[in-house]
Amino acid sequence: MVSAGDFRNGMTIEFEGNIFQIIEFQHVKPGKGAAFVRTKLKNIINGGVVEKTFRPTEKCPQARIDRKEMQYLYADGDLYNFMDTETYDQVALNEETVGDALKFVKENEMCKVCSHNGNVFSVEPPLFVELAITETEPGFKGDTATGATKPATVETGANVLVPLFVEIGDVIKIDTRTGEYLSRV
C-alpha cells in the first residue's frame, strides 16, 4: 500500500478496480482547509486519462506491472505472435492489445510485453529503430535552407517526415515514441 503523499510520476496503482499510472501529481496546501494531492491518472488498460484528488493519508495498493522482453515473430491476420527467448513459449496478441506499437518494428526484433496478473495489456517497442526507406520523392539541390522535410515510407509501411537529402535505400534512425526522424545510419 502506498499513501497519496508518496505518489511519484510513473508509479502504477490499483484504484476503483482499475490499474492506473500516475502521469502528474501535485501536493496542494490551501491557506484554509486540509492539504490534498491532485493527480492525473492514465488507465493502462484502455488508455483513458482522469483527474482525481486524494487526501495525503489515503492509501492505494501499488500495482505490479511485469515487463517481459519478447521477440516479435510475425503477424498472422489480426494476431501478432511473440516468443519468450528464454523458454521459447509463444504468445499471440490481438490487434486491439498491440495497437500501433509495432508500426516501426520489423519481424524478429525485441519488444517489451507488459502484463498485470498474467493479462497482457500493451506492447512497448524499442525506443529507437533503424529502418530502410522504401519510398520517397527525390529532393532538390539548394532546397535545404529552411530545414524542409518530405514524407517517406519505411520498410514496415509506416510514414515518417525526413529531410530532403534522404533517398530511397537509406537507413535512418527513428524515435518510436514520437515517430520522428533522428539521423541517417
65 has a pLDDT exceeding 70 = yes
Fold classification of 128-184 is OB fold (Dihydrolipoamide Acetyltransferase, E2P) (2.40.50)
Residues 168-178, mean pLDDT to the nearest whole number: 85
pTM for the full model? 0.67
pLDDT per residue as tens digits for the range 43-58: 877 778 889 888 888 8
Say what the pLDDT of residue 141 is: 62
The mean pLDDT value of the chain amounts to: 83
Indicate the length of the chain as a whole number. 185
Say what the pLDDT of residue 142 is: 60
Residues 23-36, mean pLDDT to the nearest whole number: 86
Say what the pLDDT of residue 140 is: 66
Q: To the nearest whole percent, how much of the chain has pLDDT over 90?
A: 1
Question: Taking the domain 2-60, which CATH number applies?
Answer: 2.30.30.30
Task: Count CB neighbours of 43 within 10 A.
Answer: 16
Distances (CA, A) of 154 to 142, 147, 175: 25, 21, 13
Of 157, 102, 165, nearest in space to 135 by CA: 157
73 has a pLDDT exceeding 80 = yes
Say what the pLDDT of residue 93 is: 84
In this structure, CATH architecture of domain 66-124: Beta Barrel (2.40)
40 has a pLDDT exceeding 60 = yes
Q: Are 48 and 60 in contact (CB under 8 A)?
A: no
39 has a pLDDT exceeding 80 = yes
174 has a pLDDT exceeding 80 = yes
Are both 2-60 and 66-124 of the same fold?
no
- The domain limits of the chain are 2-60, 66-124, 128-184
Say what the pLDDT of residue 106 is: 84
pLDDT per residue as tens digits for the range 116-127: 777 777 788 888
pLDDT per residue as tens digits for the range 88-142: 888 888 887 777 777 888 888 888 888 877 777 778 888 888 888 888 888 666 6
Residues 70-92, mean pLDDT to the nearest whole number: 86
